[in-house]
Amino acid sequence: MFKHVAETLLSGQFICPTAYPDAYDYLSQAANAAKVNAFLLPLERELLNLDGELFYAAYTVVDDSNRGAIKDAFSELRSQLRPVVEWMDMVMTALGQDMPIRARDQIRLHQLLQAIEHEPSLAEQLNRLTQLSLFKTNKTSLNEQLSWVLQKLEQSGYLIRPNPQASIYIATGKINYLHKIIAFLNDAENLELDQHTTSREDGEQQELFL
């Protein structure tokens, strides 16, 4: 299990009870977490836990050897931010929820589809989602569009489908990490991501991945 956990963390994955239940249980043991962290430290990483919902490996130092990898990871998250946030907003409205989706929340495709089909504004919002880069598709039916969006969220690590034959998705801990990024950007008053200067980007990348 140690090898599997270390490789998963070093590949940039988020270990949570939804996506990696066995690895999460392993790291929930203090002795195991300490062992993994001791392995990561010489690699300029450290094991972090967010909200008790996920473990991930963060860089302890930013230098020329890893700046490119950090920049790539930051750029990927930035590109996903708007589409995922708009999707969460659509789900909140469709299901009448007061709070955005968090780790372990369930998304039932047919329940969500039914709500969208009965509200033209939600159907239009879903159509707009499929014009964004993460969810880009030429599909036109609401069922196909929604299935595609959920599939892309699954591929991006925000959702999992425990039973491939069912239409129930569960939010992973990566959703909580996205909330952390949103909070950071709000605090920094940098919601317009495409207007950052290069120097500001470097600073943000370092803070988000340390």
Q: How far is CA 161 from CA 16, 87, 109, 128, in A?
A: 14, 17, 11, 24
Both tokens assigned to 12: 């940039």
> What would the pLDDT profile of 31-63 be if each residue is shown by its tens digit?
999 999 999 999 999 999 998 889 999 998 877
132: Cβ contacts below 8 Å, ≥ 6 apart:
82, 83, 86
Could you state, in order of their start, the residue ranges of all structural domains in the chain? 2-59, 76-177
- State the pLDDT confidence band at 189, using cuts at 50, 70 and 90: low
Neighbouring CB atoms inside 10 A of 64's CB total 6
Least confident of 1-5, 134-138, 161-165: 161-165
Q: pTM for the complete prediction?
A: 0.83
pLDDT class of 181 with cuts at 50, 70, 90? confident
Residue 148: phi and psi, rounded to 5, are: -65, -45
CB 158 within 8 A of CB 109: no
Angle at 176 between CA 175 and CA 182, to 5 degrees: 90
Task: For residue range 93-102, list pLDDT tens digits in order.
Answer: 999 988 899 9
Indicate the pLDDT class of residue 207, thresholds 50, 70 and 90.
Answer: very low
Which residues are 80's β-sheet partners?
Answer: none
- What's the average model confidence in pLDDT over 113-117? 96
Helix (H) or strand (E) holding 56: strand 54-59
Q: Does position 69 have pLDDT exceeding 60, yes or no?
A: yes
**4 in Cβ contact with 23 (< 8 Å):** yes
Range scoring the smallest mean pLDDT among 73-77, 88-92, 183-187: 183-187
Tokens of 8: 């998963």
Class (C level, CATH) for 2-59: mainly alpha
Q: What does the DSSP assignment read for 68-94? A: HHHHHHHHHHHHHHHHHHHHHHHHHHH
